[in-house]
Amino acid sequence: MKIIILDGYALNPGDLSWEGFEQLGEVTYYNRTSKDEVIERAKDAEILIVNKVSIDEKIMDKCPHLKYIGVLATGYNIIDTKAAKQRNITVTNIPSYSTNAVAQAVFALLTEITNGVHAHNLSVMNGDWCNSPDFCYWIHPMTELAGKTFGIVGFGSIGQQVAKIALSFNMNVIAFTRSTEKIDSFNKKYAVLKDDSTQPVKIVSKDELFKNSDILTLHCPLTEETKNFINDQTIKKMKSNAILINTSRGLIVDEFAVRKALDENRLGAFACDVISVEPMQKTNPLLNAPRCIITPHVAWAAFETRKRLMDIATTNLKAFLDGKPVNTV
């Protein structure tokens, strides 16, 4: 079985092993593959493993032996799944592997905004505390999270984990989602766990979400409905000191609208781990924006999380080869 890994570096920069795949076939590995290189590298593949390399109908037609595409991520919009189905090519993804890591990243971004750990550390290391006449000082306002209203868009596994953490900070949690039964289930489980009959997560309308959230965090998939979910009109409905966080998909946010709101002090702060075009372009409006924190799509990238992803990807392929495919899309 000829296995071609087109862009494996992000998952495994050298601290993991491809041994699981090597036990299942003849592996050819590439750190990265440009658009112009895909067909030449993939043409003889029976198995393609990709992370962010797009595989469309044209490429599939140039790969006559292709039987399986394994996506090393949860999102699979890089694959023309309709074309794959027409050609009897199985496509799999990696669900729910990064729940804890992404939720952790949300609060790393949030507490950087509310506590300014990095800024204060730089100040101390520059000698400012040594020169201070007082036992303490701060270089921007500190914000307590307890009692704040924490809004969540989307209530899948990550949204639910984020809700648990927000509740542990004693925040008031509200959520907007089409899958309201997930919130009902979460509330029932929480009531049993805490021996408390209150409903910790309140279901709200979209307008209520924007109006009431002190912190708003996005955890929904990218669809035609959610593209530019955050835009100039929705930002106008938000509090002028609200904090907006996106660790979902970059195109859910209109970056020009966010930059304009930050420049005009109509948004308290914006933090994200994803942007519309990755890697970031020098023309991106968020570059050097005020009160804006951006990390380079690393929320998923803890060693433990990547190891879990590798294990699931290997299991997906083995299940396919055994005739019992799992995690198909």
> DSSP per residue over 199-259, as a string?
-SEEE--HHHHHHH-SEEEE-----TTTTT-B-HHHHHTS-TT-EEEE-S-GGGB-HHHHH
Determine the distance from the C-alpha atom of residue 182 to the mean position of all C-alpha atoms in its chain, rounded to a whole number.
Answer: 20
Same domain, 142 and 251: yes
Say whether 259 is catalytic: no
Same domain, 244 and 135: yes
- As for how many domains the chain has, the answer is 2
Calculate the CA dihedral of residues 112, 113, 117, 123 and round it to 10 degrees. Answer: 140
- The three-point CA angle 55-61-66 to 5° equals 70
Identify the helix (H) or strand (E) that includes residue 174. Answer: strand 172-176
Please pick, among 19, 181, 278, 304, the residue that the annotation labels catalytic.
278
Instruction: Return d(Cα 300, Cα 102) in angstroms, integer.
Output: 6
Whether the CB-CB separation of 89 and 66 falls below 8 Å is answered with yes
Same domain, 146 and 284: yes
Instruction: Find tokens 């000698």 and name the residue.
Output: 127
Same domain, 78 and 146: no
Whether the CB-CB separation of 81 and 137 falls below 8 Å is answered with no
Same domain, 178 and 36: no
Same domain, 14 and 60: yes
| Within a domain: 58 | yes
Same domain, 145 and 240: yes
Domain of 11? 2-95+303-321
Same domain, 47 and 126: no
Say whether 297 is catalytic: yes
Residue 211: per-residue pLDDT = 99
Contacts of 129 (CB under 8 A, 6+ apart): 123, 137
**Total length of the chain:** 329
Same domain, 145 and 203: yes
| Within a domain: 49 | yes
- CATH number, domain with residue 309: 3.40.50.720
Please pick, among 219, 259, 266, 297, the residue that the annotation labels catalytic.
297
| Within a domain: 229 | yes
Same domain, 227 and 143: yes
| Within a domain: 327 | no
Mean pLDDT in order along the chain per 10 residues (329 residues): 98 98 98 98 99 98 98 94 98 96 99 97 98 96 97 97 97 96 93 73 98 98 94 98 98 99 99 98 98 98 98 99 98
- Prior bond of 279 cis (ω within 30°): yes
Q: Which two tokens stand for residue 236?
A: 């106008």
Residue 190: per-residue pLDDT = 85
Is the entire prediction scored with pTM above 0.75? yes
Same domain, 166 and 21: no
C-alpha distances (whole Å) from 36 to each of 39, 54, 145, 276 are: 7, 11, 48, 22
Residue 229: per-residue pLDDT = 98
Please pick, among 249, 259, 306, 308, the residue that the annotation labels catalytic.
249
Instruction: Return d(Cα 31, Cα 7) in angstroms, integer.
Output: 5
Say whether 112 is catalytic: no
| Within a domain: 26 | yes
The one-letter code for the residue type at 26 is E
| Within a domain: 25 | yes
